[in-house]
Every structure is written in C-alpha cells, then in structure tokens.
Amino acid sequence: MKYDVVICGGGPGGSVCAATLAKLGRRVLVVERERFPRFHLGESLLPQSMPVLRAIGVFDAAAERFIVKRGAHFHESETGKATRYAFADAFDKSVGSAFQVPRDEFDELLLRHAAKTGAEVREGVTVTRVIYDERHGRRFASGVEVSDEAGCGARIEARFVVDATGRDALLAHAGRMTERVPQLEQTALFSHFQRCFREEGEREGDIQIVVFEPGWFWFIPFRDGRTSVGAVVKPEWLRRRRAQGTVSLDDLFAAAVAESPVATRFLDGAKQSWPVQAAADFSYRVRDLRGDGWLTVGDAGGFLDPLFSTGAHLAIVGGHEGAKVIDGALRDGDVSKERFADWEALVRKGASLFLGAVQAFYRGELQPLLFAERQHPFLRHAITSMLSGDVFAGDERWQREMRARFPARWDA
C-alpha cells in the first residue's frame, strides 16, 4: 500500500500532523521507534497551542486529564523579587490558559487520537533511512526503510515524508544540516517530586521559574500531586562543581538548590520520585526544514531551550500548519521544496522571537524587564503574549519591538 504521507515519529509534532492529515482524508502512517507511554521532557504547554488541540478534536480529552495552567511566576533568588504573568493579560484574549502535562500521558493521548482519526500507527518500528526518486533532475523523498524490534526490514512508499523524530533529527543528521545555537550551552538536571510547593486555587497549575546566578529552575505541577523540577545551569558552573568533586547528578542538583533560597523553600519537605537525570547540549538548529517531498516538524527541525516551554509549542503548531500545506501540495501534485517556503518562514518567525528573548535572558538583559517594579503596561502585555506562545500570526507592534530589542543570533 502506498501512503499519502509517512510520518517518522509519534511525538506531539508527528501526532498532530497525522491527526490533521487524517481529518483531511489523507492516508497516513506514523512510524514510532518506541512503545508509548514513554518519558519525555517538555511538560508545560502554552495557551496558543490550545486552538490546535481543539482543531484536531483532542482538547476535551486533555482537559479531563491535566491541570490547567493560567500563568507563569518568575522569582529572583538574589533579590527575592517575584512577579506573575497571567495569560489572560496577553494581547490576544481568545486563549487564556493551557495545561501542565506529564509527557508520557500527553504524548500517548495524542498518538492514540491520531489513530482514532484514521492514521495508521506502528510502534516499535525504527526508520533507518529515507528513500528518494529522481524526478525532473531532483531527488524527491518517496518513502522510508524501516526495521522492527525483531530486526525485520521493510520498504514503505509514500508521496510525502515528514521527519518528526525529535532530537534524532533523521533527515538533518543524514544531510549534516545541524548547527549549534550560540549562547545556549546549558545542562538541565531534573526529577519529579511529591509534596513540592505549588500555588493554591486557580493558580495551582501555574509554572514557577526561579532565577539564580548559575541559571534557573522550573517547577511544573501535575494534577496527581507530582511536580517536575529542573535546574538549568551554565557550563562553567558545572565544570567548577565537578572540579570541586561534586560528580553525581543528584549531588549536582542538590548543590544547585542550595544556591537558591527560593528553590530551597519550594523543595522543603519534598520527596524525590527517582534519581536526577540530565540533558546536555540540547540546543541546535537545522539549516533546512523542507525539501523535495519532505519537511521536518518539532525537535527534528531544531530545539532552542526549555526556558519558555517552546519545544512542544513549536512542534504542535508546526505540525498542524505543515499538515495543511502538505494536503494542498498533494492535491495540486506539487510537493517541491518551494511549495513549503511560507510554512518554513512561519516556523522560523516564531522560533526567532523566542530565541532572541532566551538569549537576552542568558545575557542578563531580560531580567530587568521581567522584574521591573514600574513596568509599562504595553511591555507587560508583550511579555505575556510571548509567554503565551503568540509568536506566529500577524506582524504586531509588540512582536516588532521584541525582535528589535532582542534580535535572535542564529550564528556564533
């Protein structure tokens, strides 16, 4: 059977892309190396992802399972300053909340939903390479070769290929298209905790961002009482600590907590669920997000930084918008690289606004604005809109000013 689209990877970008295409009547196959559920970072969603969840018909199921996130709190360890950005204060008033999601549950929900909408899903199957056909003197992706858990190989033909393989970045690595992103060389140390601090009432699901000299912490509360806690630290802090004899990940995490009175207070009396894990050198970009007969979505096209919870958002929106363009391209019989130029520009537009703000944060330039005591209302609405993920549509004044103030640097 020849599919309209084969999607390599069943994370949020791949599953949303699959569900969107299936709802449009396309024959879709999702090939996923792992078997869900499985753990993944990126547990805090953004409000501007919610219209996509509604569009593919999975929002209500998510609302039944996950805690509502209505805002983001920022704390400065050194000064004790704290401020909250309520998503209801964004310029776009149509979406005022999101969800905090254990990714094993959320990703499985999306993948199973894609299957319910009509996509075929194969788990435990690894894509080994993309295959191409020569047409008009150009190489068009025309399917994939796969291997299952028993080592049995197969060839799958498709009119279009979507790379949603996450950090494996199948097409980018095969084409040597990955590049480091300057100023983003941090390491994340993380675990889950019980009995950790959280807000009460309607703010219970708010994310807490704690800034301290070596970096920052995230505190992401889940509905079942768990809280995801991570310390994102600078490479020089990590090298210094290791040189002083602090080697284990748990000890490094404890050392980071000890340097922040706020994080220490938030974790007072908390019970750690499992040993600390680490993710390092996670920031990269991909030179080409599209080609003849293929495109990349989500982390397969690059990853910035966990600071503003951008990973899942870029994957969800990019996968949804990409699916609509793929559908039109298949309908018109034109899947050339040029057909997807506007889609790539949209994805890069959103990513660049986030990147500029993230780089400004690590240079120490964003914090005075975040914690300003007499903050101009326009600036507050602008920051809130960015935190909500409103980085794609239109060319709003606040977006232009954020880009001018904090230009993104993609090259070292």
Q: Does domain 3-66+101-179+283-369 have CATH number 3.40.720.10?
A: no
Which has more confidence, 407 or 178?
407
Q: What ranges do the domains of the chain cover?
A: 3-66+101-179+283-369, 187-280
Cα separation of 313 and 50, whole Å?
9
Write the pLDDT tens digit of every residue in 152-186.
999 999 999 999 999 888 888 887 778 888 778 89
pLDDT of residue 49: 98
- If DSSP codes are grouped into helix, strand and coil, which group holds residue 8? strand
Name residues whose C-beta falls within 8 Å of residue 354's C-beta, 6 or more positions apart in sequence.
Answer: 304, 308, 310, 314, 386, 391
Tell me which fold the domain 187-280 belongs to.
Answer: D-Amino Acid Oxidase; Chain A, domain 2 (3.30.9)
pLDDT per residue over 119-152, tens digit each? 999 999 999 999 999 998 999 999 999 999 999 9
What pTM was computed for the model?
0.96
CA–CA dist 111, 336 (Å, integer): 28
Query: Tens digit of pLDDT for each residue in 52-73?
Result: 999 999 999 999 999 999 999 9
pLDDT in tens, 238-284: 999 999 998 899 999 999 999 999 999 999 999 999 999 999 877 88
Alpha helices, H only, 214-372: 235-243, 249-258, 261-266, 310-332, 341-362, 367-370
- Looking at the chain, the number of H-run helices and the number of E-run strands are 13, 21
Residue type, 51: P
Q: Which pLDDT score is estimated for 275?
A: 98
Greatest mean pLDDT range, 30-44, 161-175, 396-410: 30-44
Identify the pLDDT of residue 177. Answer: 77
Is it true that 3-66+101-179+283-369 and 187-280 share their CATH fold? no
Query: Average pLDDT for residues 356-378, to the nearest whole number?
Result: 94
Predicted pLDDT of residue 1: 67
Furthest C-alpha separation in the chain: 66
Above 60 in pLDDT, residue 412? no
